[in-house]
Amino acid sequence: MQKKDNNTKVNEKHWDKMVREGCGFTQPWLDMSRDLIQEYIDGRLDPVPESLINFFPANILSSVEDKDVLCLASGGGQQSVVFGLLGARVTVVDICEGQLDGDRKAATHYGYGVTTFKADMRNLPMLNDRSFDLIYQAPSMAYIPDVHEVYSEVARILRKGGLYRVNFSNPATEFVDCEDWDGQGYRITRPYAERIRQTNSSGDHVIEFRHYLSDIFNGIIESGMIIQEVQEAPCHQLKNENLTLGSWEHWLTYVIGFAIVAQKG
């Protein structure tokens, strides 16, 4: 049994609540197909479905069949579906049991196997050294205070030549939300020096952290991995004149994140 710090306890409760409320990030993808994913990899989908638009860069999917893939802090039955349908051996780690239920439900639905662990992304003793060819991490770093702790575990469990794909928000707009729409744009109201945000609304307590670019990039290098690619989230390319101002979809066209792909040397 892992010892949980306050951040983990608070954010685990938050994601338990998201599962109960049916948040979009907690709903497994049960209408996906290998053919659709292959079309996305080949660049033949236009437009790209909303379910896949945040799965970037697409080239990390090009050769995952028969590979060991870890979806790190990426439960919910979404990312694991893509890898499972492509023939990878998939493991999922998440702090929320309800999210892992989504991965197990999706695996049963499609008929592939999945291994799940309820754990903090910073502490993975159940995973052996050099056991994965690819580690895919969705936008979850905002819930932990120090990226170096995650990088250290990733470097330990990744095989030589293996890839690590991790998603970050732009630190300059880390704490900008849909509610910050003022009629003309999304306002930055918190100073860049502010690294921690705690919010309480409707009984939901969340703790989030801003990670600076120097920590994000230098931390990967210091861990012994080599940065191969950096790509901005494609959400700003969405073309829909009917988006509701201040909505999640509209916010995504203004406030974007990016993904880093690094290789273990």
Q: What domains lie within the chain, and their CATH numbers?
A: 6-264 (3.40.50.150)
- Annotate 1-59 with DSSP letters as a single string: -PPP-HHHHHHHHHHHHHHHHT-GGGS---S--HHHHHHHHTT--SSPPHHHHTS--GG
Say what the pLDDT of residue 1 is: 45
Are 263 and 228 in contact by the 8 Å Cβ rule? The answer is yes
- pLDDT confidence of residue 252: 86
> Which pLDDT score, from 0 to 100, does residue 238 have?
63
- The per-residue pLDDT for 53 is 87
The pLDDT value recorded for residue 202 is 66
In order along the chain (265 residues), what is the average pLDDT of each group of 10 residues?
73 90 92 96 89 91 97 97 98 97 98 97 97 96 96 98 97 94 94 92 84 98 97 77 85 91 96
